[in-house]
Structure 1
Amino acid sequence: MVTLKDIARECKVSFSTVSKALKGSSEISAETIKTIQEKAAQMGYHPNLAARTLRTNRTFDIGVVFEDKTGAGLQHQYFAKILSGFQKVAQEKNYDITFTSQSNDKPFDYYNHMKGRNFDGVAILSADFDKPGIQTLVQSEIPTVTLDYFYDNNHTSIMSDNKKGMTELVNFIIENGHKKIAMIHGENTLVTQERINVFKSICKNNGIETPDEYFAEALYHEPITSGEATNVL
């Protein structure tokens, strides 16, 4: 088994330099990091995760909550790219990610589930953010980040610019001469409500009516329910 001392001996540097290089530390030069990391890969070095966990009291593992009503899973048209990017950055920082989802409608204890696995943090990418289990997790001591849902200024969230996107979309339709515009939206979420509000506001400013029958609900990125909604409209 290749150790840090073996790599240090081959590279003729100190043990601490090797340790810093494998972590990508800014304390040493990019050239030294590249040289040591390439030598470690060449020698077949693999970090001892158990030892690292004991030494740092961290698992270097991030839990990911991903609930998908469409059943597409990791092949989801929208989330696939997000999940891929998330995983890539995590790996670059020497972290693993572990997916967690609720398989039924029964109450699920997300907090104790994540706590039991000693995750260093949790990313909540797709879920019913109003669920008691999700809210308990967010309010706990475990660091969390949410996607497209804002709790308060004490919690980290990554938000899409729904206002800009809807503004550009609706203005494009209007500029092309359309006056009778309907909207098929996804399930009732904070994102959906923001998009609907922007849609109505722009139409109102342009003198376009938006009666209730012009709106239909489907599932995001699910063609069957979207098709059914189109037939209703």
Structure 2
Amino acid sequence: MITIYDLAKKTGFSSTTVSKALNNYPDVSKKTKQAIIDTAAEMGYLPNAHAQSLSTKKSWTIGVMFSESNGVGMKHPFFSGVIESFRKHAEKEGYDLILASRNLRNRGTSYLEHFLYRGVDGIMVICSDPKDPQVQEMINSSIPIVVIDMSNQECSVVFSDNLSGGELAINYLYSLGHTKIAHIAGDHTIYAGKIRIKGYMDAMKKRELPVRDGYLVNGGLFSIQDGALAMEKLLDLADPPTAVFVAGDHMAIGAMETAKARGYRIPEDLSIIGYDDIEMASYVTPKLTTIKQDTDQIGVRATQLLMKQIIQKKKIVTEEIIPVTLMERESCTRLIK
């Protein structure tokens, strides 16, 4: 088995320097640290986790929990994208992830109790349900925590600029000549759904555009099926919209399928813009114009905030708002009057 003494002999650094580099101590230069890490990889060095824990007083693990209402979890591209980014950057810092099982609730064990038992150094929560008592229990504990997709909490939170995203979608449709713009919204009890509704309403007000009766439809829990049902309601109106802003790409895809089944051409008869920029958005017909959430940057900032709390051994209360961008494709067109 390769030891730190073998690494010290190979690299020419002291065993103390090698140990500090492998444990990410700040008093080792980046150049030295990289040289040691590269040599460790070449020689197949595997650190003893128990020994590391004893020497650093860390478990080198981070707990990950989902708290969302629709039960989709990591199957949703937004969640999986954030988790993958967080995993990648946490691993660079030497951490492994522990994903909490949903079965914990059935066993009468809270997520906090589970994570404390596992001795995690910090917790990352993806949360669309701000009223979840288990999330609040973790926020109120002393353990370092970062929460994704939720605001107004006494902890570190990271989320997309949903307000600007809603306005960006409406302003884009308005620039194409649309004034009869509807919104298929996510459930208003979910943070992202509520703020995107506000973005839509604010932009419509700024443009002095009326939100006509029936133009704001609850699309539920962001699913394809919910989007399809919501579009049925819009197309049944006596005065249907010429453009629809949909609060999630899955819902937008469902809405597009309903519109096409009803004989509407997209975008000639109806322009549709989504939200998220999931991979599928580039492959549906027509390709979906959407508001892109930067899942990689969300994961990066969440990792950085959690690492800072772990190193400083104190919780940080802050908000990180990640910008969104318009991805212009084929599902919207200029209104021909």
Q: Under a length normalisation based on structure 2, what TM-score does the superposition of the two structures give?
A: 0.63
Consecutive unaligned residues in structure 2, runs of 5 or more: 235-337
Deviation for aligned residue 1:176: 1.3
Change (3 A) 1:128 1:105: farther
Give 3-state SS (helix, strand or coil) of 2:126's partner.
Answer: strand
Q: Percent identity?
A: 30
- Cα RMSD between the aligned structures? 2.3
C-alpha distance after superposition, 1:141-178 (max 9, x if no partner):
111111121244x4111121112211111011112111
Deviation for aligned residue 1:137: 1.3
1:209-228 to 2 correspondences below 5 Å:
209-211=210-212, 213-219=214-220, 221-228=222-229
The alignment status of 1:57 with 2:64, answered yes or no, reads: no
Task: Quote the Cα distance in structure 1 between the aligned partners of 2:21 and 2:111.
Answer: 36
Consecutive unaligned residues in structure 1, runs of 5 or more: none
Task: Quote the Cα distance in structure 2 between the aligned partners of 1:90 and 1:160.
Answer: 20
Give 3-state SS (helix, strand or coil) of 2:135's partner.
Answer: helix
Aligned to 1:123: 124
Task: Quote the Cα distance in structure 2 between the aligned partners of 1:142 and 1:112.
Answer: 11
Amino acid paired to 2:81 = K
Change (3 A) 1:104 1:28: closer
Amino acid paired to 2:131 = D
1:176-187 to 2 correspondences below 5 Å:
176-187=176-187
Aligned to 1:203: 204
Aligned to 1:95: 95
Aligned to 2:169: 169
Task: Quote the Cα distance in structure 2 between the aligned partners of 1:118 and 1:158.
Answer: 24
Q: Under a length normalisation based on structure 1, what TM-score does the superposition of the two structures give?
A: 0.88
Amino acid paired to 1:191 = A
Does the CA contact (< 8 Å) of 2:64 and 2:99 recur in 1? yes
Change (3 A) 1:92 1:191: same
C-alpha distance after superposition, 1:167-204 (max 9, x if no partner):
11101111211121111122221222222122112212
Change (3 A) 1:224 1:108: farther
Deviation for aligned residue 1:10: 1.9
Structure 1 stretch displaced more, 20-29 or 101-110: 101-110
1:98-117 to 2 correspondences below 5 Å:
98-103=98-103, 109-117=110-118
Task: Quote the Cα distance in structure 2 between the aligned partners of 1:38 and 1:204.
Answer: 57
Q: How many residues align?
A: 232
Aligned to 1:134: 135
Aligned to 1:4: 4
Task: Quote the Cα distance in structure 2 between the aligned partners of 1:33 and 1:75.
Answer: 37
Does the CA contact (< 8 Å) of 2:125 and 2:147 recur in 1? yes
